[in-house]
Amino acid sequence: MSATMNVTLRIWRQKNRHTKGRFVDYPLSDVSPEQSFLETLDVLNNQLEARGEDPVAFDSDCREGICGTCSLHISGTPHGPMKLTTTCQLHMRSFRSGATITVEPWRARAFPIVKDLIVDRSAFDRIVQSGGFVSVKTGSAPDANSLPVPKANAELAMDAAQCIGCGACVAACKNASAMLFVAAKVSHLALLPQGHAERKERVVKMIARMDQEGFGSCTNLSACEAVCPKGISVNFIARMNREYLRAGLTG
Amino acid sequence: MKLDSKIPSGPIQDKWEKHKFETKLVNPANKRKYRILVVGSGLAGASAAASLGELGYQVDVFTHNDSPRRAHSIAAQGGINASKNYPNDGDSVWRLFYDTVKGGDFRAREANVYRLAQLSGNIIDQCVAQGVPFAREYGGLLDNRSFGGAQVSRTFYARGQTGQQLLLGAYQSLMRQAAAGTVAIHPRTEFLDLVVVDGQARGVITRDLVTGKIERHLGHAVVLATGGYGNVFYLSTNARNCNVTATWRAHKRGAAFANPCFTQIHPTCIPVTGDHQSKLTLMSESLRNDGRVWIPKKKEDRSKDPATIPEGDRDYYLERRYPAFGNLVPRDIASRAAKQACDEGKGVGSSGMSVYLDFAESIQRLGQPVIAERYGNLFEMYERITAENPYQKPMRIYPAVHYTMGGLWVDYNLMSTIPGLFVLGEANFSDHGANRLGASALMQGLCDGYFVAPYTIGGYLASNAFKGVTSEHDAFREAEQAVDGGVKRLLSGRGKRTADDFHRSLGKILWDKCGMARNAAGLTQAIGDIAALRAEFRENVIVPGEGGDLNQALERAGRVGDFLEFAELLCLDALHRDESCGGHFREEHQYEDGEAKRNDEAFAYVAAWEHAGAGKAPILHKEALAFENVHLATRSYK
Ligand SMILES: Cc1cc2nc3c(=O)[nH]c(=O)nc-3n(C[C@H](O)[C@H](O)[C@H](O)COP(=O)(O)OP(=O)(O)OC[C@H]3O[C@@H](n4cnc5c(N)ncnc54)[C@H](O)[C@@H]3O)c2cc1C
Ligand code: FES
């Protein structure tokens, strides 16, 4: 067992979307480097609750980096300092003992704050509703092997389909753009023959909805790719732009 | 209460076709007059809701997640079974059926399992059509891998993220229906009670987790697809918010709870590191395809660097004890063997509570790139959590609570003992008996949701009359008051211990006394300890904050309160089942070599418990199980 650490968590507290928020410092001692960042928040919350104080509200569920529920801007970076790692997979060994760690919610117009560190990401659901699917009814599918898909395409589609919808890309972008999120879904479905029939309509509708939700335009700085816990490549944005052009040209 | 399984007559191959034909249909024009309330948006809930919406029903979906896409199903890694026989290795509907009944140690209902095997192929077709990017071979056709408990390759997978891809497929279909206006989604909304009017399930009471508002919803049928109760053990591989609240509260309204003691402990999880631990991480059991499980033969070697332990001093105990299946024995067997190894003092790691899962031989045989392609993301996950590189050093694994075979009792139509209350996915008890085979939960959830419930719910609606009830009915008022009262009672708690703290204590009782090995004395003690803990919870829990606000302390306390009640039934069921079978291992009943000893004469039945009221002993009902197609035999994987 390695020695324990002391850290100070500087956490954004905000009662709801109508009130003003502020940072509050919480010093914690005896933190194990083996424990995850969210477990550190659990420990803090347990202490707060035992004193009858409101715990820090934050989202998490799977705690294994796949559901996309956890968020958090940690010391200035969405999901904290480790590359390809969600907040729930981050461990205290990534921090120095004695450090002050700033913890904030995602900041974006299209993601209003609900409470403390929780934001409302339902805009993503509405973007998918606008066209992020294949229109196939239950029961109407042909045999799965009737349509071969070249392995390379299937792999590339999977690279895009891995998006967990956490919103880090939006949080990292100066313009709070959702291009990487939308591009991942557009590319996943455009790369597979199953998605071809609705290809043009899909990209046009999803982009329109994205704009309507108040996400900004792409900065071309790739800040999104740098923080994406699944390593989704900005090449998919280029692919989406081509899809969009193509839809316009042949529309 | 009378249990009528409604298994159709006739040969097992024809039952489902016959039943579909005999099931009444709802006139297409009338479908939109029916409202169906679906709780849960995992594979079972999302697939059912999307399919029902496509048929034209009005559907409401409730989930405590902030988006339906984040339901716990998303975390499934390894794959989904189907008897397509694409690899031409001898698979068939019959074999999948046989493997599942046998793997479940002869405690599942044959007719349901057969239907599951029959429909398994359609699931893959459906998912591929939705654009699920399953793994493919170079020719562009689908690839398969093998999984525990089977000697054929029938598992379809999408890297190590099969659950994610299947759920996104179902979620996208659900979103399509939301856009079409047939489905209304209620995220961040918790189901807190079922409303039963004149014996029919007619509504639900929910709490909006953001505003705290308690609401009534009226419908013609209710679907619970709320997942399993593994988190009763506190530490499990389930997502943090998985709970028993929905099924437990429906149980208190009259739904029988079946086989709660059938819980599954998964053999390949990352070991516990300390008291802070909030959940356990599964390493997909597909790893056992290429990884070899071993411990040092000599106790004194257990803290040595594994690389320095020569082959001759290693005990590959699964390969030694089960030469036919080797590292691919079913989960219950692999888990218990690991526990035995550690109990004998040969466990490795600083706590001595883990065994090695070693890839060195496969890496040598196949090369690192092949292993990376198969398991890369799992290896990364392992390294992220443990800071050890499994390409260079064997993984350390230990069993953890993973899945619950028990659940609300349902008949062949997936309807509970409350007419109009349907239960799908992990929340019901139906298909896995006393032990679930790997890659079969995803199959079951989607089978229930896409291909069974849409028919059987229609049959129920078409053959029942519905009174013109409104949500002002007394039953709604009473249920709402009960929920409101419960919330207020929790908030008045001004004790000293947090709900989470109680939950940990509960988990420890269950893991020690009702975990991988159980006995009468331990279970009796656990029942007493749970009652005492529950009494203390009432007096000494502290829940800060208000009800009319987002209050996670309150959410946790509500769930822990239900776990504390449910845990007693779990132990009671384990105590009453005086035999070993599947995941339920009673130390009193084992063969000399430590294998589980079933007692078919006395226990070849489903134990369905009826709630008799607070403080009263639950009433046991038995559904006898007939094995007409797979003959009762001792399970052997040797
Ligand atoms: C780590 C892991 C890996 C796995 N890997 C595999 C695998 O490879 N293959 C396989 O076949 N199986 C696997 N399983 C098992 C499988 O994932 C689950 O059994 C299955 O996904 C359950 O699906 P479900 O739809 O029944 O429930 P869930 O996915 O658990 O969904 C439950 C839903 O109900 C909602 N809910 C619950 N309670 C309430 C409430 N009170 N109010 C409102 N909403 C509520 C939740 O929000 C959620 O939407 C794995 C499980 C785990 C934990
Ligand atoms: S909690 Fe699921 S990704 Fe972090």
Q: How far does CA A214 lie from the centroid of its chain? A: 17
Rounded to whole angstroms, the Cα distance separating B39 from B56 reads 18
Please check whether residue A136 is in contact with residue B130, taking contact to mean a CB–CB distance below 8 angstroms.
yes
Which token pair is B534? 């529950």
> What atom in ligand 2 is closest to the CA of residue A63?
1
Residue A231 contacts B, CB cutoff 8 Å: no
More confident residue, B48 or B151: B48
Task: Average the pLDDT over B139-147 and give the result.
Answer: 93
pTM, two decimals, is: 0.97
DSSP state of B428: B
Res. B590: pLDDT tops 60: yes
CA distances for B160 relative to B156, B335, B477, angstroms: 11, 21, 47
Confidence tier at B157 by pLDDT (50, 70, 90) = very high
Task: Average the pLDDT over B183-196 and give the result.
Answer: 98
A176: left (phi over 0), alpha (psi -120 to 50) or beta: left
Closest chain B residue by Cα to residue A202: B176
pLDDT at B635: 75
Which token pair is B321? 């004890």
The ligand with the least distance to the CA atom of B171 is 1
Name the packing angle between helices A37-50 and B552-576 (round to 10°): 100
Which stretch of A58-72, B160-174, B208-222, B378-392 has the lowest confidence by average pLDDT? B378-392
pLDDT at B351: 84
pLDDT tens-digit series, residues B284-309: 888 998 999 999 999 999 999 999 99
B354: left (phi over 0), alpha (psi -120 to 50) or beta: beta
Residue-range domains of chain B with CATH? 267-400 (3.90.700.10), 474-624 (1.20.58.100)
Which residues, in sequence order, are bridge partners of residue B296? B314
pLDDT at B331: 85
Distance A71 CA to ligand 1 centre (A): 21
Active site residues of B: 331
Which token pair is B32? 């939109």
pLDDT at A157: 98
Confidence tier at B9 by pLDDT (50, 70, 90) = very high
Which residues in chain A touch residue B172, judged by CB atoms under 8 angstroms apart?
A: 128, 132-134
Distance B528 CA to ligand 1 centre (A): 31
**Phi then psi dihedrals of residue B96, to 5 deg:** -65, -40
Pick from B47, B65, B176: CB nearest A133: B176
Q: How far does CA B564 lie from the centroid of its chain? A: 19
Confidence tier at B418 by pLDDT (50, 70, 90) = very high
Distance B426 CA to ligand 1 centre (A): 7
pLDDT at B138: 95
Which residues in chain B touch residue A45, judged by CB atoms under 8 angstroms apart?
A: 500, 552-553
Distance B514 CA to ligand 2 centre (A): 29
Task: Average the pLDDT over B528-532 and give the result.
Answer: 98
DSSP three-state, residue A106: coil
Res. B144: pLDDT tops 60: yes
Task: Average the pLDDT over B8-37 and give the result.
Answer: 97
Res. B196: pLDDT tops 70: yes
Task: Average the pLDDT over B382-400 and give the result.
Answer: 94
Which helix H or strand E contains B500, and what residues bound it? helix B499-513
pLDDT tens-digit series, residues B550-578: 999 999 999 999 999 999 999 999 999 99
DSSP three-state, residue A101: strand
How many CB atoms are closer than 10 A to CB B526?
24
DSSP state of A82: S
The ligand with the least distance to the CA atom of B71 is 1
B408: amino acid identity, one letter? L
Please check whether residue B201 is in contact with residue B72, taking contact to mean a CB–CB distance below 8 angstroms.
no
Residue A54 contacts B, CB cutoff 8 Å: yes
A232: amino acid identity, one letter? I
Pocket test for ligand 1, best of B72, B192, B231, B446 (most atoms within 8 A of CB): B72
Say how many residues make up chain B: 638
pLDDT tens-digit series, residues A9-38: 999 999 998 999 999 999 999 999 999 999
pLDDT tens-digit series, residues B491-522: 998 899 999 999 999 999 999 999 999 999 99
Distance A75 CA to ligand 2 centre (A): 19
pLDDT at B544: 96
Please check whether residue B515 is in contact with residue B265, taking contact to mean a CB–CB distance below 8 angstroms.
yes
Please check whether residue A121 is in contact with residue A165, taking contact to mean a CB–CB distance below 8 angstroms.
yes
Q: How far does CA A12 lie from the centroid of its chain? A: 19
Residue-range domains of chain A with CATH? 5-104 (3.10.20.30), 122-250 (1.10.1060.10)
DSSP state of B278: -
Res. B160: pLDDT tops 60: yes
Res. B15: pLDDT tops 70: yes
Which helix H or strand E contains A207, and what residues bound it? helix A199-212
Residue for token digits 């800060």? B544
Which residues in chain A touch residue B129, judged by CB atoms under 8 angstroms apart?
A: 134, 136, 140-142, 144, 194
Confidence tier at B361 by pLDDT (50, 70, 90) = very high
pLDDT at B633: 87
Res. A2: pLDDT tops 70: no
Residue for token digits 């899909």? A202
Pick from B54, B350, B544: CB nearest A138: B54
Task: Average the pLDDT over B404-411 and give the result.
Answer: 98
Residue A138 contacts B, CB cutoff 8 Å: yes
Please state, rounded to an integer, the average pLDDT across all residues of chain A.
96
The ligand with the least distance to the CA atom of B188 is 1
Closest CA to B75 of B437, B391, B451, B377: B377
Contact across the interface for A128 and B210, Cβ inside 8 Å: no
pLDDT at A251: 54
Rounded to whole angstroms, the Cα distance separating B103 from B217 reads 40
A236: left (phi over 0), alpha (psi -120 to 50) or beta: alpha
% helix, strand, coil for chain A, step of 5: 40, 15, 45
Residue for token digits 């059509």? B129
Chain A 14-33, CB below 8 Å of chain B: which residues? 15-16, 32
Q: Which residues approach ligand 1 with their CB closer than 6 A?
A: B 39-45, 62-65, 71-73, 75-80, 162-163, 190-191, 225-227, 237-238, 242-243, 245-246, 282, 284, 402-403, 425-427, 439-442, 445
Q: How far does CA B328 lie from the centroid of its chain? A: 21
Pick from A34, A132, A138: CB nearest B273: A34
Contact across the interface for A129 and B279, Cβ inside 8 Å: no
ipTM of the complex: 0.98
Pick from B125, B178, B543: CB nearest A144: B125
Confidence tier at A71 by pLDDT (50, 70, 90) = very high
Contact across the interface for B142 and A68, Cβ inside 8 Å: no
